[in-house]
Amino acid sequence: MQKTILVVEDDANIADLVRIYLENDGYAVQIAGDGGTGVRLFRELSPDLVLLDIMLPVMDGWQVLAAIREIGKTPVIMLTAKEETDDKVHGLELGADDYLTKPFETRELLARIHAVLRRSGGEEERRSQVLTFDKLEINMDSYELIVDGKKIDTPPKEMALLFHLASSPNRVYTRNQLLDEVWGFDYLGDSRTVDVHIKRLREKLEGVSPRWALSTVWGVGYKFETFPEKNEK
């Protein structure tokens, strides 16, 4: 059953990017642009988890969290630019389940959501962090890349890029999409970073199997392409 996450965030750009990440991960997402709307939608929707900013119009995050805790124990992850330890302690004392400081990477956000939902009993099965193809295993739990039975040393960002592409075989991603979804919306580099990482991955993977490949879609971007078994030579 699809889980619903309520995102209470007044920065529309951040809210939209978070929504894209979460929907790609299989969640239904509702967005509130201020604290008052957040409390109203929480009561109407009964979401499985709330991502809650602190600095909000109408009602701040502390007030929203207090209102949520008056209703029940729905998991809440505080999402804020504040870094002071006192703010983190205050949020946890008020009943927040976790605290994530902006800017953050998509992978960390999703990992924290998975962990909080598992701890609360709201996510019976985590989305698989291990992908297997012919002569290829991408294991994000142990950060291991196994190619033709051999472990290949691979930097974390290359692992994350390969896992992201291989999680949706044959889907084409633009360079900017990959920057947003793998590096995170706070990344300030350019799209050539993606090209460099793809080049390094190809050095590790090309020629291993006729069943899959890291393919370039000229003028668009990249995809992890799979081929039917009948094409195997």
- CB-based contacts of 218, cutoff 8 Å, min separation 6: none
Q: What is the pLDDT of residue 119?
A: 76
CATH architecture entry for 4-120: 3-Layer(aba) Sandwich (3.40)
Domain 130-231 has CATH 1.10.10.10: yes
84-90: Cβ within 8 A, 24+ apart: 87/54, 90/62
| CB-based contact 25:2 (threshold 8 Å) | no
| CB-based contact 87:54 (threshold 8 Å) | yes
Q: What is the pLDDT of residue 85?
A: 55
The domain ranges of the chain are 4-120, 130-231
| CB-based contact 139:129 (threshold 8 Å) | yes
Intervals of the chain under pLDDT 50: 124-126, 185-186, 231-233
When computed from its CA atoms, the radius of gyration of the chain, rounded to whole angstroms, is 20
Name the residue among 217, 216, 215, 213 with its Cα closest to residue 227.
Answer: 213
Please report where in the chains the tokens 């390969």 appear, as a residue: 162
Q: What is the pLDDT of residue 156?
A: 84
Q: What is the pLDDT of residue 79?
A: 83
Q: What is the pLDDT of residue 120?
A: 73
3-state secondary structure 75-131: CEEEEECCCCHHHHHHHHHCCCCEEEECCCCHHHHHHHHHHHHHHHCCCCCCCCCEE
Q: What is the pLDDT of residue 116?
A: 84
Q: What is the pLDDT of residue 87?
A: 62
Asked whether the whole model's pTM tops 0.85, one would answer no
Q: What is the pLDDT of residue 232?
A: 46
Q: What is the pLDDT of residue 180?
A: 76
